[in-house]
Structure 1
C-alpha cells in the first residue's frame, strides 16, 4: 500500500507540477487582492479534485460514451491552452484588469479555465488517474488511497497558491510582467506539446 501511495504521489506531483503552476497562478491573477486570489485558488483546486475523481472512477466509460478519445481531449486542451498563452504574451486582458482589483468577484475568473482545467486537471492528470485506478480495479482500499494522494497533491498546490502574493511582491510589477511573457512562451510550447502528443497517440502524427 505504501509503495502504491508513493508511486501515485510522485507521478501526480510531477504531472500536476504545483511548483511550476504557482508563477502561472500569479500571472493569471494580476492586480487581485489576497481574498480574491484565495477564493480563486480554493475554487480551482476543489473543481480539479472533483474532475479528477470523476475521471478516476468513470473516465474511460465517460469519454467512450460520448465518443471522445484521450488523444482528442489532449488536442483540444492544447488548443485552449494556446489561446491563454496568446493573451499572456500580448496583454489582451488589460482592459478588464483595471477595475477587478476592487471587485469582490472579478470579471476575469481563471479558476475553472485554465486553472482547474486544463492546468490542474489536465489530460495528463486525467489519464494518470484512469491508469492508476485501472491497475487497482480489484482493490477498493488502494483506489481510495490513490484518490487521497491526489487530494494531497492538490492541497500542496493550494498552499503554494495561497502564498503567491508574497512571490508577486518580491518580483514587483516589472518582474511579474517579464515572468508573464516568459510563461506565455512556455505555456504556448506546452500547448503545442499537448497537441503533438494527441496527434501522435491518435496515429496522425507519425511514429
Structure 2
C-alpha cells in the first residue's frame, strides 16, 4: 500500500475541480425544483461506483472498442476545455431530463454531471500518475463532499447568493481550463 497524503490531496482537488459540485449547485437546484426532490445518497453512491468501476475497467473498455488511453485523454481534454469555457463564459449546453426524482438523481445528475466524461478521463490520467489506493480514497472523499453539497444545496444557495455561486463557477472554470490544457499537451504528442 502506497498511501501518500500529498497525492491523495492532489487527486482529491483535481477530481473536485473536474466534478465541480459547487459550480453545479444552480443546476442541482433547478433539478430539485423540477423533480420535487433529489435522492442525494443514491446519486452520491452511484457516482462513486461509476468512478471506481471506470478506474479499474476503463482502459479495458477503451481497448475493447479500439481506443487507446491517449486518444481518450485528448478527447477528454477537449470536453473538459468546453466545460471550463461553459463555466467561465456562463453559457449552458445542459439539456433538461425527465422530471421524476429517480430519473433526475441518475440523469443528468450522476451522468454526465458528476461521473461524466471529464471525471472519467481525469481518473484514467490520475491512474497513470498515482497508485490506485490513493485515487480510490480521493474518489471516496469526493463522494462525501458530493453528498454534503447535494444534501445542503438549498442552504448553500441562500448562503452564497447568486454572485457567490457565479464567482466560484468562474474560479473552478479557470482551474479546469488549466487542467484541460495540461491534459491536452501531455497527451497530444502521443498521437503523432
TM-score range, shorter chain: 0.5 to 0.7
User: How far off is 1:65 after superposition?
Assistant: 2.8
Aligned partner (choices 131, 146, 149) of residue 161 of structure 1: 149
Q: Distance in 1 between matches of 2:45 and 2:77?
A: 20
SS at match of 2:131: helix
CA RMSD, Structure 1 to Structure 2 (Å): 4.0
Native 8 Å contact 2:78 2:180 kept in 1: yes
What corresponds to 1:23 in structure 2?
22
* Gapped regions of structure 2 (runs ≥ 5): none
- SS of the equivalent of 2:21 reads helix
Counterpart Cα distance in 2 of 1:117 and 1:93: 14
- In structure 1, the residue matched to 2:71 is 72
For residues 120 and 36 of structure 2, the distance between their equivalents in structure 1, rounded to whole angstroms, comes to: 23
2:179 equivalent among 159, 167, 190: 190
Q: Is the 8 A contact 2:21 2:149 kept in 1?
A: yes
**How many pairs align?**
183
Is residue 62 from structure 1 mapped to residue 29 from structure 2 by the alignment? Answer: no
* Distance in 1, Cα, partners of 2:188 & 2:112: 23
Structure 2-normalised TM-score?
Answer: 0.65
Secondary structure in 2 matching 1:111? helix
> Which runs of structure 2 are paired with 1:76-155 in the superposition (5 Å)?
76-88=75-87, 89-92=89-92, 103-104=99-100, 109-119=108-118, 121-129=119-127, 132=131, 149=137, 152-155=140-143
TM-score, scaled relative to structure 1: 0.62
